[in-house]
Amino acid sequence: MVDPDPADGGDPSESDPVVAAIFDAVAATAPEIRAALPGRRVESGTDNPSGESVLAGDLYADELLADALTAVDGVGSFVSEERETAVDAGGAVGEGAYAVAIDPLDGSSNLRSNNAMGTVVGVYDAPLPATGRDLVAAGYVLYGPITTMIVADEEGVREEVVERESNGSGSRSVVEDDLTLPDDPLVYGFGGRVPDWPADFTAFAREIEDELKLRYGGAMVGDVNQVLTYGGLFAYPALVDAPEGKLRLSFEANPIAYIVERAGGAATDGDTDILDVEPEGVHDRVPLYVGNEGLVKRLEDALADG
Ligand code: AHM
Ligand code: MG
Write the pLDDT tens digit of every residue in 145-168: 999 999 999 999 999 999 999 999
Q: Is residue 204 part of a domain?
A: yes
Percent of residues, the chain, with pLDDT higher than 90: 86
Length of the chain: 306
Pocket test for ligand 1, best of 111, 220, 241 (most atoms within 8 A of CB): 220
Among 225, 244, 240, CA closest to 290? 225
Q: Is residue 182 part of a domain?
A: no
Among 245, 244, 227, CA closest to 236? 245
Q: Is 171 in the pocket of ligand 1 (CB under 6 A)?
A: no
Atom of ligand 1 nearest to the CA of 236: 11
Centroid of ligand 2 to alpha carbon of 24 (angstroms): 21
What pairs with residue 239 in β-bridges?
A: 242
Q: Encode pLDDT of 201-235 as tens digits.
A: 999 999 999 999 999 999 999 999 999 999 999 99
Q: Whose CA is nearest to atom 7 of ligand 1?
A: 107
Looking at residue 240, what is its pLDDT? Answer: 98
For the chain, what is the domain count? 2
Q: Encode pLDDT of 104-135 as tens digits.
A: 999 999 998 999 999 999 999 999 999 999 99
Q: Is the pTM of this model over 0.75?
A: yes
Residue 78 sits in the same domain as residue 199: no
Report CA 114 to chain centroid distance, whole Å.
19
Residue 225 sits in the same domain as residue 130: no
Structural domain of 69 = 6-176
Q: Is residue 1 part of a domain?
A: no
Contact between 282 and 174 (Cβ < 8 Å): no
